[in-house]
């Protein structure tokens, strides 16, 4: 199953719809979708290393726009935002984080924007807590851009040489990725 998903992602990355699909995933992930765009960005860079930074720019722009939607949901539709956080299993974290967010909101946006923690939680919470919208956008551009351009650089630079290793050890890399994702969620629960 993992190998089929991998090959499907690689085919999508090489298709003419890849950029639109990546932009849609990046937009949706910032406000409500559970799958990070990294899983589309990395194979796209592997398929077309010459377009790595273009893909990173598209991913960044779509992510920031999606983050703005998350902010708007939290700010103008607070009950919907709280319901969405509850559906993601983040309502308890949200309740505990209000004081922390009010004191360290900049760091919450920076950490949420750059790390694999669910960014949608940060975008919705930023709106609910009425975090400065211009500062939210600026921090989102910097952190999301840094993340996606870093991924594009690493995959462009080291990916082609690593591709045969990744394909031979796909299960190992999948398990490591899942462990990192679970670690990110556990870290979020501790915050």
C-alpha 95/C-alpha 188 separation (Å) is 13
Predicted confidence at residue 133, as pLDDT, reads 96
Q: What is the pLDDT of residue 184?
A: 61
Domain boundaries, the chain: 2-190
Q: What is the pLDDT of residues 35-86, one digit of tens each?
A: 788 878 888 898 889 999 999 999 999 999 999 999 999 999 988 888 887 7
Q: What is the signed CA dihedral for 124, 59, 118, 134, rounded to 10 degrees?
A: -30
What's the pLDDT tens digit per position in 137-185? Answer: 999 999 999 889 988 988 898 877 766 666 566 566 656 665 665 666 5
Contacts for 73 with CB less than 8 Å, ≥ 6 apart:
31, 80, 81, 84, 123, 124, 127
CA atoms lying within 13 Å on the CB side of residue 66: 28
44, 22 in Cβ contact below 8 A? yes
The Cα–Cα gap between 120 and 28 comes to 9
pTM over 0.85: no
What is the per-residue pLDDT across 99-140, written as a single tens digit (0 to 9) for each?
767 777 888 888 788 776 778 888 998 998 899 999 999 999
Instruction: Provide, rounded to the nearest whole percent, the portion of the chain with pLDDT above 90.
Output: 28
Q: Nearest-CA neighbor of 163 among 18, 56, 46, 55?
A: 46
How big is the CA angle at 132 (ends 131 and 133), to the nearest 5 degrees?
A: 105
């Amino acid at each position: 199953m993992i190998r089929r998903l991998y090959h499907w992602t690689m085919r999508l990355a090489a298709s003419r719809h890849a950029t639109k699909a990546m932009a849609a995933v990046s937009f949706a992930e910032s406000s409500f979708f559970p799958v990070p765009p990294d899983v589309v960005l990395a194979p796209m860079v592997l398929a077309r290393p010459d377009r790595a930074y273009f893909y990173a720019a598209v991913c960044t722009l779509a992510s920031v726009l999606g983050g703005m939607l998350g902010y708007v949901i939290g700010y103008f539709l607070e009950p919907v935002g709280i319901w969405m956080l509850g559906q993601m299993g983040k309502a308890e974290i949200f309740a505990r984080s209000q004081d922390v967010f009010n004191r360290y909101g900049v760091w919450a946006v920076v950490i949420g924007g750059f790390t694999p923690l669910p960014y949608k939680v940060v975008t919705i919470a930023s709106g609910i807590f009425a975090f400065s919208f211009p500062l939210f956008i600026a921090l989102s551009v910097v952190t999301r851009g840094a993340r996606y351009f870093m991924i594009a650089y690493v995959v462009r630079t080291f990916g082609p040489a690593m591709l045969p290793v990744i394909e031979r050890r796909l299960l190992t890399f999948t398990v490591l990725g899942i462990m990192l994702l679970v670690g990110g969620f556990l870290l979020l629960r501790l915050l």
